[in-house]
Amino acid sequence: MDNQHQYLFIDFEFTMPEGKSNPQGFYPEIIEVGLVAVKNQKIMDQYSSYVKPIKFTTLTERCKSFLHISQEQVNDGISFQHLVNKLSEYEKTSSSTIITWGNMDMKVLRHNCQKAGVLFPFKGKQRDLSMEYKRFFGDQNQTGLWKAVQEYGKEGTGKHHCALDDALTTFNIFKLVENDKRYLAKPEPTTIGDRVDFSKVLNKFAL
């Protein structure tokens, strides 16, 4: 992790259709944002808010039940334009890398921007930490955010599917993965007697 570089850990929650058959013209819209701005592995800022959807303004029962978000919370949220303006402010202060768990967050943000006729707020590099996790550990399938942190013997921060808590959990996994990468890339010099034990460590991480 570059100590002077800004990392933005972002999680969005989206609207959901009631059943498997989507209503005509339906597309997921951002209804909650959680963002953690980090420099030098220290949290510099946090931001969270509910967001009003533009196209399908009434949340489905499935969406409210799954995300534990009420219609009133969304009605009192910020506008999508306000969200985009807020996100763009972070890159005005520093060049940034945007890190999410999975690729849906940036896909939905980009699509929502196109539908609303506003510019996509980020110019910095975007990283899908779930794919990095998958490649690093050699998993066949992508691992869910909270399952991944539990595989490290940790627990997620706060409540799953709360956008800010998920963004904080993504940051925590990022630190764990980056530390493992450094450990395997630059092992401490070992004596001949130690090498057998170190090979066991490597085999453990290769599982």
H helices of the chain, in order, are 61-67, 71-75, 80-93, 104-116, 129-137, 145-151, 163-185, 192-206
The interaxial angle of helices 163-185 and 192-206, nearest 10 deg, is 150
Q: Do 35 and 46 form a contact (C-beta atoms < 8 A)? A: yes
Query: Which of 13, 61, 91, 178 is flagged as catalytic?
Result: 13
Label residue 102 left, alpha or beta by phi (over 0 means left) and psi (-120 to 50 means alpha): left
- Alpha carbon 175 to chain centroid, angstroms: 13
CB 116 within 8 A of CB 88: no
Is 160 an annotated catalytic residue? no
CA distance to 9, 53, 69, 110, 198, per residue, from 120 (Å):
17, 17, 26, 6, 47
Residue 91 bears catalytic tag? no
DSSP letter, residue 60: P
Q: Which of 5, 161, 178, 188 is catalytic?
A: 161
Active site residues: 13, 161
